[in-house]
Amino acid sequence: MVQRAEAQPTRGALLLQEDVGELLADLKRLARAEPAVVLEVLLFLMERLSEVIGELDDGPGFAAGFVPEIMDRVRSLMLHDAKAGDCRVDHASSVERMLRLWIDDAEGWYQELDGLLLEVSVTAAGEYALRSRISQHIGDLPLCFPPPRGASDDLARALLLAERHRSERLLGELLARSRQYEYSVIVARDHYRRTGDALDFAVSLHRSGRSDEAITVARKALASPRSFQRQRLQELLNEMLEGSVIDQARETRKELERLFVEDPSRKSFAALKKAVMSDQWERVRQRVLGHLQKHQKAPTLVFDLYLEEGDVIEADGLVVVQAVEPDRLVEGAMGVALDHPAMAAGWLLIAAHHRMARRTTSVYPRVVRDLAMVRDLAGSARERTQFERSLARFRARYARRKKFLALLDAAGM
């Protein structure tokens, strides 16, 4: 396969993709009967192809495209063997070969192998092989000392530091799996001090149970315009704040308020409510929901939250000035109809107007249904008179929509 690809440089990548695809199909059929043979072929492919792919004319990425599939096959074989306890494949040798590939991967074809190594080293032999070999590799790396004062880093030192960090990080992740977190914290802290990349440091602190420190590190990093991986760091901070135990600290509550008003959601609202003492909740709730209402942000969500919190008057004030989804207005009206029939009738009328604004005949049956519910809510003679007036105004406003008026006539309105 390799010789055929190398003989035709312009088509080599495509030929290699076709040949590997056929081979993987054959290996899939053989995997159950001969897992050791299949694993050996897959590992050989990974080792041999890493020397070849970079030499081919492969602009579209044909050849590199099957690397993830090969890795998935390796993962499936090794995990299935470990789970079944068959011991039909050599876990220690396989882990050592993949680790060597990962260490020697100058082109970046196997940069995701660290995650695969952590996944498949689930047997005692595999974990021992990974731990001992990566420790040996770290021990063989030369120590890096800071450059003289005023001098800048040279390329060789930068590459050596990067190799040491990624190797130490892999060992830290392996130890953390056994709840030995301190090594990963030390490695991540050193990386943060040298580069300003705080993500691993915050993750390792949080995982080790030091969530308060992790939150502080994430906030400090995000406050700097030079921080890296800002989106992932912000997501981690949100997760830590929303998943934390009740924390009455003022800074935490302020952060949760900021998260909610910037990106309103039920989840962030629940996290804020969890973090605020019950005697302070009404004031905080009114402030954040009032802020959203003032800036006309997420009106349907605000309407729902008002109702769920029992703030019916605030919900009524919102629907008059902002566009709440018609279906939610109808559901809300049905919920308050028993205690506030006039208010419910008003919401139903507004929902009907919102539907008509969409200018499509498909909404007509639902508008007629909404108006019928308004009619049913009119209990007294005075309320029936008010309904007749509202209906007359409604018909006059949409007088040009003959199909709609026909539906109203058929419904007795």
Q: Three-class SS string for the chain?
A: CHHHHHHCCCCHHHHHHHHHHHHHHHHHHHCCCCHHHHHHHHHHHHHHHHHHHHHCCCCCCCHHHHHHHHHHHHHHHHHHHHHHCCCCCCHHHHHHHHHHHHHCCCCCCCCCHHHHHHHHCCCHHHHHHHHHHHHHHHHHCCCCCCCCCCCCCCHHHHHHHHHHHHHHHHHHHHHHCCCCCHHHHHHHHHHHHHHCCCHHHHHHHHHCCCHHHHHHHHHHHHHCCCCCCHHHHHHHHHHHHHHCCCCCCHHHHHHHHHHHHHCCCHHHHHHHHHHCCHHHHHHHHHHHHHHHHHCCCCHHHHHHHHHHCCCHHHHHHHHHHCCCCHHHHHHHHHHHCCCCHHHHHHHHHHHHHHHHCCCCHHHHHHHHHHHHHHHHHCCCHHHHHHHHHHHHHHHHHCCCCHHHHHHHHHCCC
The two tokens of residue 308 are 């769920």
Residue type, 277: M
Report how far residue 264's alpha carbon sits from residue 295's, in angstroms, rounded to the nearest whole number: 12
Please count the other Cβ atoms lying within 10 Å of the Cβ belonging to residue 367: 24
d(CA 109, CA 49) in angstroms, rounded, equals 10
- Contact partners, residue 226, CB within 8 Å, separation at least 6: 196
| Distance in angstroms (rounded) separating the CA atoms of residues 160 and 138 | 11
pLDDT at 246: 45
Half-sphere exposure of 176 (CA within 13 A, CB side): 23
Kindly report the pTM of this predicted structure: 0.58
In angstroms, the Cα distances linking 174 to 184, 199, 258 are 9, 18, 36
User: CA-to-CA distance for 345 and 334, rounded, in angstroms?
Assistant: 9
CB 200 within 8 A of CB 227: no
Domain map (residue ranges) of the chain:
196-244, 245-324, 325-413
Q: Is the dihedral of CA 392, 395, 397, 400 positive or negative?
A: negative
Query: What is the per-residue pLDDT for 245?
Result: 52
Sign of CA dihedral 284, 287, 289, 291: negative
Q: Which residues, in sequence order, are CB contacts of 258 under 8 Å at separation 6+?
A: none
- Over the chain (413 residues), the average pLDDT of each successive run of 10 is 79 84 92 94 88 72 78 94 89 95 85 92 94 95 76 78 92 92 94 90 92 89 84 88 59 82 90 83 90 91 92 90 90 89 89 87 89 84 83 88 89 85
Residues in the chain: 413
Q: Which of 296, 295, 293, 320 is nearest to 306 (CA)?
A: 293
Burial category of 133 from C-beta neighbours within 10 Å (exposed 0-12, middle 13-18, buried 19 and up): middle
